[in-house]
Amino acid sequence: MGDGPAVEVPQGRIEAHETLGETRCEKQRLYKREYMRRWRASLGRQTSERARRRSAYYARKERELLADASPVCDPDGAALCGYCGIRRAVEDVARLEISADAPDGYVKVRIPYCGHC
């Protein structure tokens, strides 16, 4: 393989080619931006997004309730991981939890952790 291009192209043609590519990219970027604006502004999409978020919120609440119902200790009495609930916890990790009562809106909680999740 040689160091230079296989075919000699005059410098002016390369610059024109780059400018055309940049113009095409800019047009494509503007088109995509306007498309996404229209897509986000669509009432049908906003309604479906609201429904999706509401459903995800209730699904998360249900998961949290079920997780609370799961045992936190194995039959030998050792603490289980707070994330997977399967393996034994080997350490506690700190996590911020949203709280309306806290002055900065977050409370630090310690969660048993297995080291794998």
Residues near Zn ion (CB under 5 A) are 81, 83-84, 87, 114, 117
Residue 62 or 85 having the CB closest to Zn ion:
85
Residue nearest to Zn ion (CB): 81
Residue closer to Zn ion, measured from CB, 16 or 117: 117
Token duo for residue 70? 């799961």
Q: Quickly list DSSP for 66-105.
A: HHHHS-SB-TTSPBBPTTTSSSBP-EEEEEEEE-SSSTTS
Closer by beta carbon to Zn ion, 87 or else 95: 87
Which pair of tokens denotes residue 54?
């509401």
